[in-house]
Structure 1
Amino acid sequence: MIEKKIVIEENSYLEKFFEHNRKHEDYIKNRIYKCTLDLINNNPHKIKKVRGYKYKGKTIYEYKIPLEAGLDCRVAYIFYKEEIIIFFISNIIIKNEFTKLVSKLKDVKKI
């Protein structure tokens, strides 16, 4: 059973995402805090690696958060020490398109 602290990183990508989704920001963050560990521990088949890329030298994982029609999003995160660091969120829920977006981020490197 994984018990780690969920951290939503402060970065320009997430700032931009939450600016665009301002009226749903608290709802989305609450769902992330509430559902991430549950998903990792109870539905690991829903967690996927972002193959071929690392963020700050760490394996990138992603999952889709089902929220409500038109609001679903995909989340990218890494494990770092005792934390799960969420570093990217997008309303683009198609995995291939999401991976392309992740691959363009500053600290993401192709492996």
Structure 2
Amino acid sequence: QKIEGVEQKLNSKIEGVETKLTQKIEGVETKLTQKIDGVEQRLTNRLDEHDKRFDKIEASLDLNNPNGSLSRLKTDLENRIDQVTQTQNQQNNRLITLETIVDRELPARSQIQ
């Protein structure tokens, strides 16, 4: 009977230790799961931020996006080319006018001499 009593006490203590260990393991598992979830959430948030930045950069480089930097630069360059072309055409017209005047005046001067 004493041996059975000792066995029962030992079994009770063993069960108590097992229960405590199980609870501690479950607590550690819960904490680890929470930490992993937190890390996953932070990584997801950072990935979302990078996606947004990438989308902004992509939009700014899109020539079809009128508000994009490349599109604005293209428009600015096209406008500048138009201005230079207009200036060149004006200068060509002045040159033609001067040539016309010279062609008209030269024969008149040679007759005077």
**TM-score for the superposition, normalised by structure 2:** 0.18
Structure with greater contact order relative to length (CA < 8 Å, sep ≥ 6): 1
**TM-score for the superposition, normalised by structure 1:** 0.18
